[in-house]
């Protein structure tokens, strides 16, 4: 319930109870057979969807409707893959046509797979050859093992605050407790911390974990142990700790140090691929890695991912010296979706237009927060960004952990959700603007944001 100025006069749970009755009932039902009541932990109460996640009924373009009929401007975008909005007609038609004309899975190659591969190679600067997989985690797992096979080395360098999927080799130090990870040692390293139980502790010896955006740490490490390093894996711009951009020269330094020491540079572009320009972060920043992983964005919302790179490295697979397998790899649904998505993304002016839409939203939020006297900054790249409630700049996980105001973010999320604007309730996720969001979506969002900031500028009710 709200007062005449749109301010909520009751707690969040009470205020949504009357509007999300069916979601609540479905959540209770789902919780009996699905752990946490949802298919991925990021959709559960523990990950911020309290008191229960809204259950969705359908999406079209930039909008979603839940089972109670509430409409949302969608900046969650399925956590990234709905880069063309929901049910883009070109991709939907391509997939349904392909399935009814060919089938779904042959266990053998076919022409549409070649079309899809050629279009990805044409779009992404660092990819000369590509293999399709089914999820980002599989793509990263392939890239890391391939790098080890190619270099015949074991050590992988990764950074705190980055996420590279759930496989044991990389499921470390995403958001570690600094008390466990400790301060940096003389080489700038932090103690690797498994991101959850069940990961074999001995894998810590195969990893080096550094702070990101810290040129000194990576330079020292490579000078000392560069000859042992198989790969440096990084998000080229970090979108798993809100949004953090590389400082000028940092990606170039990673590129030159890996080349100098015979290690591979892996850009995990699962989020950044096709996101704010067609060639991804590597095109945007002008730094070409040896291996690239792609997923969200690649298939316009269909489950597909990819690992690609130079002919030299991918040649290990071509020559049969490295076996990359998967029953569902490059299935018809995936390749039809990739091929059609690549065609849609090739439209001249598309990215320029959508970055402008996203930038207008980001600028509007920045201005409204400032007008409400709330210390906040917006970091991102047009079609993906996060609002940090912090008076300090955030350069890496340690900064985010110290400075970002989680309680404030939760209040912001609740106020926006109540007003029909959807994004992930955790501050370390982001807002995604699809390539079909419009100025009307931004206008509606900014009206909601003005009301939300007005609420946030006052102490929380009950404080």
Ligand X SMILES: Cc1ncc(COP(=O)(O)O)c(C=O)c1O
Residues of this chain that interact with ligand X (CB under 6 A) are: 135-137, 140, 163-165, 235, 240, 268, 270-271, 295, 305
d(CA 302, CA 295): 10
> Strand ranges (DSSP E) for 110-221?
129-133, 155-159, 189-190, 207-210
Indicate which residue of 68, 72, 119, 296 is catalytic.
296
What are phi and psi for residue 163, nearest 5 degrees? -125, 130
Q: CA 310 to CA 284: how far, in whole Å?
A: 19
Which one is catalytic: 72, 163, 250, 302? 163
CB of 296 to ligand X, least distance (A): 7
Our CB check for ligand X shows the closer of 384 and 449 to be 384
Closer residue to ligand X, CB minimum distance, 141 or 364? 141
Please say if 268 is a catalytic residue: yes
Quote the distance between the C-alpha of residue 129 and its chain's center.
Answer: 23
Which CB atom, from 49 or from 163, has the smaller least distance to ligand X? Answer: 163
Helices 136-151 and 311-318: angle between axes, nearest 10 degrees: 90
Q: How far is the CB of 41 from ligand X (least distance, A)?
A: 11
Assigned token pair, 24 = 């609540």
Question: Which member of 66, 214, 268, 399 is catalytic?
Answer: 268
Does residue 163 have an active-site annotation? yes
**Which CB sits closer to ligand X, 305 or 456?**
305
Nearer to ligand X, 134 or 359 (CB): 134
Alpha helices by DSSP H, 319-435: 332-345, 350-371, 397-403, 406-418
Tracing tokens 């893959």 back to the chain, one arrives at: 81
Joined together, the tokens standing for residue 365 give 């939020």
Residue 156 C-beta: closest distance to ligand X, Å:
14
CA pseudo-torsion sign 349, 353, 354, 355: positive
Tokens of 223: 């000078």
- Please, which residue, 68 or 138, has the CB nearer to ligand X? 138
Give min distance, CB of 304 to ligand X, in A: 10
68 is catalytic: no
Q: How many C-alpha atoms does 314 have within 13 Å on its Cβ side?
A: 20
Q: Which residue is nearest to ligand X (CB)?
A: 136
* Least distance (Å) between residue 269 CB and ligand X: 8
CA–chain centroid gap for 11, Å, is: 31
For ligand X, which is the closer residue by CB, 158 or 398?
A: 158
Bond preceding residue 50 cis, omega within 30 of 0? no
Q: What whole-number distance in Å separates Cα of residue 451 and Cα of residue 47?
A: 25
184 and 217 Cβ atoms separated by less than 8 Å: yes
CB of 163 to ligand X, least distance (A): 5
CA end-to-end distance (rounded Å), the chain: 19
Distance, CA of 337 to CA of 182 (rounded, Å):
44
Backbone angles phi, psi at 230, to 5 degrees: -80, -45
Count CA within 13 A, CB hemisphere, residue 320. Answer: 0
> Residue 68 or 290: which CB sits closer to ligand X?
290
Q: What are phi and psi of 139, to 5 degrees?
A: -65, -45
State the nearest-atom distance from the C-beta of 22 to ligand X, in Å: 28
Name, in order, each residue with C-beta under 8 angstroms of 36's C-beta and a sequence gap of 6 or more. Answer: 43, 44, 45, 46
Catalytic residue numbers read 163, 268, 296
């Amino acid at each position: 319930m709200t007062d005449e100025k749109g301010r909520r006069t009751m707690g969040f749970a009470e205020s949504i109870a009357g509007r999300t009755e069916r979601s609540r009932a479905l959540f209770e039902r789902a919780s009996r057979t699905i752990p946490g009541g949802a298919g991925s932990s990021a959709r559960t109460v523990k990950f911020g969807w309290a008191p229960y996640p809204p259950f969705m009924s359908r999406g079209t373009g930039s909008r979603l409707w839940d089972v109670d009929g509430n409409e949302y401007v969608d900046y969650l975008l399925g956590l990234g893959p709905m880069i063309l909005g929901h049910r883009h007609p070109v991709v939907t038609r391509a997939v349904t046509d392909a399935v009814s004309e060919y089938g779904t899975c042959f266990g053998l190659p076919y022409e549409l797979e070649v079309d899809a591969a050629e279009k990805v190679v044409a779009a992404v600067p660092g990819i000369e050859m590509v293999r399709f997989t089914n999820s980002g985690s599989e793509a990263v797992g392939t890239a890391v093992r391939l790098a080890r096979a190619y270099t015949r080395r074991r050590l992988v360098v990764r950074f705190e605050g980055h996420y590279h999927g759930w496989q044991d080799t990389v499921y470390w130090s995403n958001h570690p407790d600094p008390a466990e990870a400790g301060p940096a040692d003389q080489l700038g390293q932090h103690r690797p911390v498994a991101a959850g139980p069940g990961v074999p502790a001995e894998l810590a010896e195969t990893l080096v974990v550094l702070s990101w955006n810290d040129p000194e740490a990576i330079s020292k490490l490579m000078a000392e142990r560069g000859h042992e390093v198989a790969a440096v894996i990084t998000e080229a711009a970090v979108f798993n700790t809100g949004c953090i951009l590389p400082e000028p020269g940092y990606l170039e330094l990673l590129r030159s140090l890996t080349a100098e020491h015979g290690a591979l540079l892996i850009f995990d572009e699962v989020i950044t691929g096709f996101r704010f320009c067609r060639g991804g972060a590597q095109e945007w920043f002008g730094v070409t890695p040896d291996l690239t992983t792609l997923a969200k964005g690649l298939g316009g919302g269909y489950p597909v991912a990819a690992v690609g790179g130079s002919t030299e490295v991918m040649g290990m697979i071509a020559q049969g010296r490295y076996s990359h397998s998967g029953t569902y790899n490059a299935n018809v649904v995936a390749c039809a979706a990739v091929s059609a998505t690549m065609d849609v993304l090739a439209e001249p002016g598309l990215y320029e237009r959508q970055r402008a839409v996203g930038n207008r939203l980001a600028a509007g939020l920045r201005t409204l927060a400032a007008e409400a006297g709330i210390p906040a900054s917006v970091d991102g790249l047009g079609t993906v960004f996060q609002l940090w409630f912090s008076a300090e700049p955030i350069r890496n996980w340690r900064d985010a952990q110290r400075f970002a105001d989680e309680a404030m973010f939760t209040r912001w999320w609740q106020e926006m959700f109540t007003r029909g604007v959807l994004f992930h309730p955790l501050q370390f996720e982001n807002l995604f603007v699809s390539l079909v969001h419009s100025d009307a979506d931004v206008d509606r969002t900014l009206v909601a944001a003005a009301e939300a900031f007005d609420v946030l500028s006052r102490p929380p009710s009950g404080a």
